[in-house]
Amino acid sequence: MEKKPKVLNKLGKIIQLYSATLLDTFLSDDHDKRVEKEKLAYIQLKLQEAKGQNSLLVLQLKTEKVDKFEVLVGWGVGKTINKDQIAIRLRNNSQLTRMISLNRIDKISILTPTGENVKFAR
């Protein structure tokens, strides 16, 4: 008869642990999304400022391959079409403009016309 309470006690602890883990995962997911939105808003603000100053942008982009990345050098152009993208006129080919998703940007370096260098990463 004493085995049943021990089994129920262990089962209760397992359920309690599982519930706490599930709740923690649920709450932290919301926090992660909010932090990611704040980072995207900050990146967008800095890129808009750089575009207004006609600053040179150096962007390191994430690629499909984990060990590879792409680097773009150029200037922000045009008005913002979409809040999640930016248009970049490439330095090595001024006739070529690329639309870059803000989600793909990993690191940014901004060189202003006055010589100030601003760097930040995600």
pLDDT digits (tens, 9 = 90+) for 80-120: 657 788 999 999 988 889 999 988 999 999 999 998 898 98
CATH of the domain at 34: 2.30.30.520
Structure tokens at 4: 């049943």
Q: How many domains does the chain have?
A: 1
The yes-or-no verdict on residue 1 having pLDDT over 60 is no
pTM for this predicted structure: 0.68
Q: What percent of the chain has pLDDT over 90?
A: 25
Rounded distance between C-alpha atoms, residue 102 and residue 81, angstroms: 13
- Domain range for 54 is 3-121
82 closest CA partner among 68, 101, 96, 69: 101
Cα-based angle 54, 56, 59 (whole degrees, multiple of 5): 130
Residue 8, token pair as written in the block: 């129920």
- Candidates 66, 30, 54, 56; CA nearest to 110 is 56
